[in-house]
Every structure is written in structure tokens, then in C-alpha cells.
Structure 1
Amino acid sequence: MFARLIALLLLCAAASPSRAGDNTLQLCRFTRTYSEDFNSLSVSPWNAEKARWIAHTPWNGDFGDARFLDPGENGPFFVKDGMLTIEARKHPGDKWTSGLLASADPTTAGFSQTYGYFEARMKLPPGPGVWPAFWLAASARKDDQTPAVEIDVIEYYGQFPDAFHSVVHVWGKGDKPGHQETDRLTKVPSGSLTANFHTYGAEVTREAIVFYLDRREVSRVPTPPEHDKPLMLLVNLALGAGWPIDRTPNPSHLLVDYVRAYAPKDAADPACRD
């Protein structure tokens, strides 16, 4: 198994246009196409033509043990000094609420992009039961019956503070049902992701999906052949994922400094050197 993994990594290494000799992302090879710095809050429950984000998955597939709320006076989203806070809070009856943001809506209005580099800078909440994520999902109309790719740049499970997961899913639909996934685990110093801000990124090319922590490559997988749709951006603070939430801190906060997307430049930047 290890020999096959090493061979796969060597094969994919040649496919990435941004891989420097020390595995550091060369951002100068890209042009920024989307930037959310959270100097203000622009969220609609469902309509991305009225706001930069919607507050649910476009396919109406919310998940986890906390209900995702709409924006509003008692909503889960707060912006101050260029920082977004997504709050998970427990209510009477041990009912939890929290929040999710998606950059495209059920009509595919909003932002999505097929290839490029996608990044968020975040400080994760501590404690068992928290399940924050920054991820990408195929933007398609609800009646689309072709397979869809999902790329979880980071999934973090609070009871395991020394690692996070990066996962590529292929969700079958219509006459091609089923589910495939490729999971990569990145080990980190215990508690480091909740003590400080870090950047979490993924570069998506036709050949490979490359995952980055603080713009240094941590893993890569081949791009599934099913990837043929633009990818929307999603960030959320969910709870549970099959783990108990009886010891989850109340409230819990995910801090998001920014979310950005970049497209490859048509020509190599002479300032970039391998």
C-alpha cells in the first residue's frame, strides 16, 4: 500500500503548476477572482442574487446536530473589525443552533469556479463535538442527475485536536448512484488549530487536488473524472458528526478572517521561480 501511495504522489507532483521545490504554494501564479473579507455581512436565507452568501446548502441538505439558522437579529453570524464569527449556541431543551454560508444558491446564482486555488483563514473552536469545515461543492441545479464532486478542504473534529481531514467525495445520482471518498489526515501540534489562525487551501486542476495548510502542501489526490462543474465555497460550524455533543462548549465560535478564490493565470508570471 505504501509503495502505491508513494508512486501516486510522485505521479501527481508533476501535474501541479504551483508546486515549488519546498512544497510552498506560489500564489503569484494565480489571479484573485473572489474575495470576502467580512467588512460587512451579506447573507440571504436562499437568494444569492440579493447577497454574497446564502445560509443553507443549496440542495437543502443541512446536516449535523445544530440547526443552521437564517441571518437576522438572533442569527448565528456576527461581523466586527473585518472578522466573521459563526456561533453555535445551546437553547432550552438541549437544542443547538449554528450557521453555514454557501456562495451559490439553488439556481446556481452566486460565485462558483471549476479550477483554481481556494482558501480560507480561520481560527477553529475548541472542544469535543465541534465540527467546523471549509469546503467546495459542485454548483448545479437541483434537477441535475449527473455525479457531483465535493472537496472538503478541512473537516475538524473537536475531540481530536491533533489532526484534521481533507476529503474528496463523488456523490452519485440518477442512474449512477453510490458514493466514493478519498480521505487524507493531516497531523498538527495538539491544540494549534484552535489557538491561532491558519490558512486552509486547495488547488484544483484537471489532474490533481492539492491540499495546503498555511500555503504548504500537506496532501494530494487525483482529480475525479466526474469533476466537470463549477465549485461553490462553503464554510460552516456544525456539531456532532456522530460524536456526542454533551461536553461541547456553549457557545462555540468559528472565526473566519477571509474566504478567497483564485484562477490560474494564462501565462506564467516571470516573478515566479521554481
Structure 2
Amino acid sequence: MLTLFLTRLRQQLGRFTSTAERDPHLTHTAQAPVFTADFTSTTQWVAGRSWAYPDGGPTNPGDNKLDYLVEDPSFSRTGTFRAVRRPDGKWNAGLLTTEGSDEGFMVRTGDVLEARVRLPAEVGAWPAIWTWRDGGNEIDVFEYHPDNPHLLELSNHVKGGSRYHEDPAVGPGGWVDLKVEFGTRSVAWWVNGARVFADRRGVGRRWRAYLIVNLSVCAGRYHPAPDADVSEMSYEVAYLRVHRP
């Protein structure tokens, strides 16, 4: 009986090992997340302010943005990130960051982030999920511009490396599933369940950074500004969570 038990145990372990070898990231996401976004939480997130903007905001014209960051919860805390045209030519815009929050959550090397987003349809919209700390440490989980309707921008600004991922399944108003592993030697991106890019640069062993989720508005230098008849735009984040091995 003991021999039979050990044989069956080895078979079970063999099946587990082969599964892990096929998808080495499976063990990461199988664990309970260390962070699950609650955009209504005032301890997880700070609204309408980010030190990725000069002096913490509210504007950032040097980055080709028409944003005027606002704390108004209707612009970000529902999980729908909005931007509304102002009379002065700026746009009231929603942004949330973990930087400066009571919990101060930071992603770090080895973490896996998952998110599901509904892309905006209006030209000039610039949604993003990204990281930031101390003037850098930026990894773009994604950026999107509807004037390039099937293109996601995936970037590692820590050690260099980026990919313009074109996919007919990506489009204005559509839902996209995103996953990023912040690896020591390679940052890897998945889109709708398929691995689409590994930069072979990574973030290093001691990297850590805050999360930012926002909707910016393009000023026209690199991507078209909104049409004159557009007064409001939005994108939605259904969930965002971080797993830690």
C-alpha cells in the first residue's frame, strides 16, 4: 500500500511540475492578491494629485497634456475615469495614485499585475495604468490612443524597452484584459491571455513604485487633440489586482 501511495504521489507531483513548466507564472496568479483595487477607498488611493506632474499637478503641459486634475470623486472613484472640457481649454481629468495614500502600496520586483479595462472611443483620450516613484521608475502597463485604434503602447522606462502591440481585438470602446510581470531581468506583458512582449531588460532586484491610474487628454503634439464638438470622455477599469510570489 505504501508503494502504491508513493507512486501516486510522484504522479501528482509530476503533473504539477509539468503544468508549472508550461506556465511559470501560474503559481503567481494562483495566490491571493496582495492588493485589490478599491477605487472608492481614501486609504488606498489619493485623487487628483500626482508627483509625476510638476508640483503634484494639477497641470502637466510639458507632457503634451490638457489635464487639470480634480479630486471630484465622480471623475475617478467609481472606476470610470472621466475627462470633461473646461472653459479655459483644459480638461478636468480623473487620476488616482497610491503615492501619498495612508496605505502607500507599491508594486515591486516579481509582482504580477492584472487589470481589465474598457478603452475610450474619443480621439484625444489618453488612458493609462502606470507606475512612478522619485521622478522615474515608470512602467506603462498600457497606454492607448483611439487615433491608433488597434494599438496598445507597452513600455519599460526603467531600463528601456517598448512595444507597439497591434491587435484587431483591441479597439475603441472594447474591453481588454492586461497582465504584466515586473521581472528582475525581463518585464512581460499579456493581452487577452496571450503573452505579447517580454523586453529582456527587467526592472532590477530592488525596484518598487507606486501605482497610477488615469485618463489624460492629448494636446495635439504627438496625437490629435479632441474634436471641438467633444466635451466629455471616459474609460473604465473593471478590476486591478497585484499578486506577489
Cα separation, 2, equivalents of 1:109 and 1:54: 10
Q: 2:165 aligns with which of 186, 197, 220?
A: 186
Q: Are the equivalent residues in 1 in contact too, given 2:29–2:243 (CA < 8 A)?
A: no
Larger radius of gyration: 2
Residues 20-78 of structure 1: per-residue CA shift (max 9 Å, x gap): 64x7952545441000255xx124xxxxxxx2111222354453212111135xx5235
SS in structure 1 of the partner of residue 207 of structure 2: coil
Identity of aligned residues (%): 23
| C-alpha distance in 1 between matches for 2:20 and 2:83 | 37
Which of residues 88, 95, 103 in structure 2 aligns to 1:100? 95
Distance 1:113 1:152 in 2: 13
Distance 1:166 1:233 in 2: 15
Residue 111 of structure 1: aligned partner: 105
2:199 matched to 1:221? yes
Alpha-carbon distance in 2 for matches of 1:229, 1:165: 21
State the AA in 2 paired with 1:169. H
Mind listing any 5+ residue stretches in structure 2 that lack a counterpart? 1-18
Report the Cα distance in structure 1 between the residues aligned to 2:226 and 2:108, rounded to whole angstroms.
Answer: 39
Task: List structure 1 segments (4+ residues) > 3 angstroms apart after TM superposition.
Answer: 18-21, 27-31, 58-63, 223-227
Aligned residue number for residue 58 of structure 1: 51
More helix by percentage: 2
Q: CA deviation at 1:182?
A: 2.0
Q: Give the aligned CA root-mean-square deviation in angstroms.
A: 2.8
1:210–1:240 CA distance, 2 compared to 1 (3 A):
same
Q: How does 1:1-274 map to 2 (within 5 A)?
A: 21=22, 26=26, 28-38=29-39, 41-43=40-42, 51-55=43-47, 56-61=49-54, 62=57, 63=60, 64-72=65-73, 75-79=74-78, 84-105=79-100, 110-115=104-109, 116-138=111-133, 140=134, 148-170=136-158, 181-189=160-168, 192-224=170-202, 228-240=206-218, 242=221, 243-247=223-227, 249-264=230-245
Deviation at 1:104, TM superposition (A): 2.2
User: In the alignment, what sits opposite 1:15?
Assistant: none
Q: Residue deviations 1:85-132, cap 9 Å, x none?
A: 1111112243311111111228x9510131210122110111211110
Looking at secondary structure, tell me which structure has more strand per residue: 1
- Measured at CA, do residues 207 and 159 of structure 1 come closer, stay the same or move farther in structure 2, by a change above 3 Å? same
Partner SS for 2:161: strand
Q: CA deviation at 1:198?
A: 1.7
Amino acid at match of 1:157: H
Q: Give deviations 1:190-240, integer Å, cap 9, x for gaps.
A: 7x3433322222101212100111232110112456662322221110011
1:131-186 Cα deviation digits (max 9, x unpaired) = 10011223x5x8xxxxx42100101112110111101113xxxxxxxxx6322111
Whichever residue aligns with residue 112 of structure 2, its letter is Y
Indicate the SS of the match to 2:172: helix
Q: Deviations over 1:230-271 (max 9, x none)?
A: 22221110011632324173210111111110101xxxxxxx
Which amino acid is 1:204 matched to?
F
Instruction: Check whether the contact 1:37–1:257 (CA below 8 A) recurs between aligned residues.
Output: no
- Structure 1, unmatched stretches of 5+, are 1-17, 44-50, 143-147, 171-179, 265-274
Q: Which moved more, 1:252-261 or 1:229-238?
A: 229-238
| SS at 2:165 equivalent | strand
